[in-house]
Amino acid sequence: MAVIYSYPVKSLPTGGDRMIISDMADKKRTKQVSLTDLKTLVNTTYTLTSTVDTINNTADIDLNDSDGTKNTVKLKGGTGITLTQPASNEISIESLGSDANFVFTQSIPSSTWNINHGLNKFCSVSVVSDGNQLKYGNVSYINSNSLTITFSAAFSGKAYLN
């Protein structure tokens, strides 16, 4: 058998052209295949799809090939990270930044302050009265976006959350 580089080069092969292979499934026997057969083997198409679950703050990115194989990458938002899907071909990853905070103003004196802050975390809380006196109350976290502060007496002021 001649050395492969000694054969002439065909610049534009066609599907009917043949080539020699070693059949690994048949004791490495030498066989021939058409280029059309190889095209079927290597002509894989891929489809990329995604879904976002905004309630659980997760996203799945699926890569499907034409042979039916599916590979999934899972994304999960965390503290200060929100995942949304503004369009079918887009996933938005938004960060509240490293210093996400919220200032709540209680303008009517009350002994119970209900605060919806939207920071998606269990915040530390500092409260001051309208006279800028530091106040202490019982903080109850409803969820990662809302809390209630209960005081022994009604007053108005501000709650600083971070």
Domain co-membership, 85 together with 119: no
User: Is 8 inside any structural domain?
Assistant: no
Distance CA 157, CA 108 (A): 9
Which stretch, 8-22, 31-45, 46-60, has highest mean pLDDT? Answer: 8-22
User: Is 20 inside any structural domain?
Assistant: no
How many separate domains does the chain show? Answer: 2
SS3 content of the chain, % helix, strand, coil (to 5): 10, 55, 35
User: Is 28 inside any structural domain?
Assistant: no
User: Is 71 inside any structural domain?
Assistant: yes
Domain that holds residue 73: 46-95
Q: What is the pLDDT of residue 67?
A: 78
Domain co-membership, 85 together with 106: no
**Chain centre to alpha carbon of residue 76:** 5
User: Is 142 inside any structural domain?
Assistant: yes
Average pLDDT score over residue span 112-133: 94
Q: Which residues are within 8 A (CB) of 133 and not within 5 positions of it... i.e. 6 or more apart?
A: none
* Average pLDDT value over all residues in the chain: 87
Which two three-digit tokens encode residue 17?
């052209």
